[in-house]
């Protein structure tokens, strides 16, 4: 059975103490770093230098989620600096297959993200080009939002499409993931869980990661 992957989002961490914050979540599988450019989403976070600094700490693998315009141009660089996984948005990519292949060329896993209103259907034939599909469970841009349970059918459809193709792709969910929502997401077919506020606002991040992992595991197929 596949084990759940817990990916704490550092969006709400104390960026002035980035190395300490990564250490605080190092019992998780991978750190989720949200790159926002104030064009694709109405927020500005950080870019390649900060992501590369996270990679260089060597504390844990880095999963870069690029909420940016023109990922065809920028995404491969995130793989080149050593991210373990690079996710770009379907809505922003002009050449998703070429971009995914460039990401893989640099040794990273390539992932395609879908905003809540974007259907998986047009991308089903492209599934072999990717290692992961990210189903956003909030509108991207800000941390701390509530999980959209209207996305559960989309997670199920994505899982059915992956299983029908006999592919080994993970499904990541990002947005409002917490103790109260992770079981539903796992039940629907998600295997990779991004949690930000739930982990960074917990009294004990290690304990919260273990709890989320256990809840997800008990509901995964």
CATH 3.20.20.70 describes domain 5-219: yes
Q: Which active-site residues does the annotation give?
A: 34, 174
Six-digit token string for 163: 């299983």
> What is the pLDDT, as a whole number, of residue 1?
65
Six-digit token string for 27: 């019992």
Q: What does each of the 221 residues of the chain score in pLDDT, given as a tens digit? A: 689 999 999 998 998 999 999 999 999 999 999 999 999 999 999 999 999 999 999 999 999 999 999 999 999 999 999 999 999 999 999 999 999 999 999 999 999 999 999 999 999 999 999 999 999 999 998 888 999 999 999 999 999 999 999 999 999 999 999 999 999 999 999 999 999 999 999 999 999 999 999 999 999 98
CA 186-45-42 angle, 5° bins? 85
- Beta strand 62-67 pairing with 85-89: parallel
Instruction: Please give the sequence-ordered ranges of beta strands (E in DSSP) within 20-108, or none if there are none.
Output: 31-36, 62-67, 85-89
SS3 category, 73? helix
- Select from 122, 115, 160, 121 the least CA-distant residue to 138: 115
Query: 202-213 burial, b for 16+ CB within 10 Å, e for fewer?
Result: beebeebbebbb
What is this structure's pTM? 0.97
């Amino acid at each position: 059975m596949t084990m759940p992957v817990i990916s704490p989002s550092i969006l709400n961490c104390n960026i002035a103490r980035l190395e300490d914050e990564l250490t605080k979540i190092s019992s998780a599988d991978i750190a989720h770093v949200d790159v926002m450019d104030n064009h694709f989403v109405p927020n500005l976070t950080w870019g390649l230098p900060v992501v590369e600094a996270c990679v260089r700490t060597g504390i844990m693998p880095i999963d870069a989620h690029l909420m940016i315009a023109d990922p065809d141009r920028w995404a491969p660089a995130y793989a080149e600096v050593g991210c373990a996984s690079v996710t770009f948005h379907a809505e922003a990519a002009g050449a998703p297959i070429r971009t995914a292949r460039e990401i893989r060329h640099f040794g990273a896993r390539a992932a395609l993200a879908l905003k809540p209103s974007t259907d998986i259907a047009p991308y089903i034939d492209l599934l072999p080009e990717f290692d992961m599909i990210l189903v956003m469970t909030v509108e991207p841009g800000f941390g701390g939002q509530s999980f959209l349970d209207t996305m559960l059918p989309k997670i199920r459809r994505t899982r059915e499409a992956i299983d029908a193709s006999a592919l080994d792709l993970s499904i990541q969910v990002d947005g409002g993931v917490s103790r109260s929502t992770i079981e539903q997401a796992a039940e629907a077919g998600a295997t990779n869980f991004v949690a930000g506020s739930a982990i960074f606002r917990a009294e004990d991040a290690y304990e919260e990661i273990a709890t989320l992992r256990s809840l997800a595991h008990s509901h995964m197929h």
